[in-house]
Chain A
Amino acid sequence: MEKPEKLLIDGKRLDGRAPDELRPLKIKAGVLERADGSAYVELGNNKVFAAVYGPREMHPRHDQQPDSAVLRCRYSMAPFSVEDRKRPGPDRRSMEISKVTREALEPVLFLELYPRSVIDVFIEVLQADAGTRTAGINAAAVALADAGVPMRDLVSSVAVGKIDGTIILDLMKEEDQFGTTDMPVAIIPRKKVVTLLQMDGHFTKEEFKQALDLAFKGCEKIYEVQRQALKEKYAIKEGE
């Protein structure tokens, strides 16, 4: 991929979006038959599945917590999800994303209700176009709710960044690669608590504040779509 001369032309981005606009978002809950809960998320060209199993008996036994459940997350990218084949299996990057995903989701779960058990979350990226960790968190939150795991709230997540000196919402691949900054954020929308915040690049203090505000606005929109997806799973059948 070649670096485009400008990422922002007349206030419009390469795909015609305004700086504070999300990519088209589609969420569907309960898509996998075998999982206790599942969700499918399409955010622009990102295609992500999340599957939840549990709470179930934990193996290996020595990892059990006597007073609470354990949350296990695995983020994984399909070999065909990116242009150059990705070597399958866990690597440095996916281990890190699995860890931050777990920490982003843990605060909303009532883990103390299920001592000695485990809740497994699998996130599979089928097609990647920047922002897969945020799409994965959005999918995992819906899948957990779909599995009937008690939660304080959902978790919504989006990336913000800077291209050509402008703060933008929801970076796509070119913007991620050639932009100045990429900052994924996950929040608990109702309480406005940040559960994930990473940054690649740099912001001034003012830019950071502006970017975080934009991320909160983006998350609110995503939160609404997530809630709708969960309600829709049962609403369609209600007309029968």
Chain B
Amino acid sequence: MSEHILLRHRDIANIDQLDVYLKHGGFEAFKKAVTTMQPADLINEVKSSGLRGRGGAGFPTGVKWSFLPTNLWPHYVVCNADESEPGTFKDREIMESNPFQFLEGLMIASFAVQANLSYVYLRGEFWQIAEMLDGKIAELEKAGLLGENILGTSYTLRLHTHLGAGAYICGEETALLESLEGKLGQPRLRPPFPAVYGLFGKPTVINNVETLTNLPPIVEKGAAWYKTLGTEKSPGVKIFSLSGCVNKPGNYELPLGATFRELIYTHGGGLAEGRTVKGIMPAGASSSIIKVTQDSLLDTRMDYEAVAAIGSQLGSASVIVLDDTVNMAWLVSKTVNFFKHESCGKCTPCREGTFWMNRLASRIAAGKAAPQDVDLLDDVAKQIAGKCLCALGEFSVMAVTTGISQFRADFDQFTAQPAQSPAEKPEPVSA
């Protein structure tokens, strides 16, 4: 893209400095919202833009805001900056390099639901980013853009960062709220939903970093402009985090609906010489694996609908490319080990299920399993599916079931041989 809408630091040097950000139209959208718009108009504008949550679920942002009851106060906005899915690294770049646009988005969302206190919940590993954001927030208070009577109005807003401490589950919004309340990061039973009973039991909006960063340009240029980008049902731009077996992994901001081919070959520099795409995980470790049986699958458009149509999910658009050297039984053992480690232990299907899947998958990948262990793994996965308290458990089986059904030979390759000593075990990946 010639000019970035979200990754503006790639076009404008030092946009992470307040004076530079202001010189390039920074906080004009927030000023417009606070001084000329009613919160309801702002919510409607974001609804009309068609912006959908960029954290993975793709829920319409304006609609989410409109769920907050206006007879229960106070309202809170919590930004989900807990980015921890293997394959995602987009929110980090936004916050590190274009922090003011992100904070402006959070401030616009806060005004829209009339929150006076909002939090950025960052994963603990983003310690340096939190330190930096604290400094930026202090600058905004000094500049009169945060605090009491902002821009001469009666609106008051304060922002704070809050660090998690190494728990993927806290990216699940109700677990995040529990964590922010100083408890174990375990999901809540729903209903009630956070829109009614959220942080400290009050109506709460939880939005992802990238979602919020879309707000300043939407408010400034209007919903109609935003809808000219992307597709009809998935408007706007998206940051695709490209990783795995590609020459130029990284974040690429493209309109929703760009193709896998464009991302992998035009931007990502393609694969190493002689390699072909065997599979794609478009939503990080929690994706259903797309088996690339024919080259034309690479022309699939990356929007929420088109990726679902080929049996996977766009999610947070963390595209992991798997080439023909990757053994899918090895891959499944890695993803399952991740989910087993990150399971919060609250619900039985996920706690026990990921434990047993991990044992089976690692036994298979170590070349020590019997052929029927593959069926057992598949069976355990299918018993977990649909029975978990939150999406983490559901995510844990995606690679397992789609891996076994589409790449059975990769699993059989390990089980067909008699048990080997670890030193002789087949090397699953070239890496």
Q: Do A and B come from one complex?
A: no
* A residues in contact (CB < 8 Å) with B: none
* B residues in contact (CB < 8 Å) with A: none
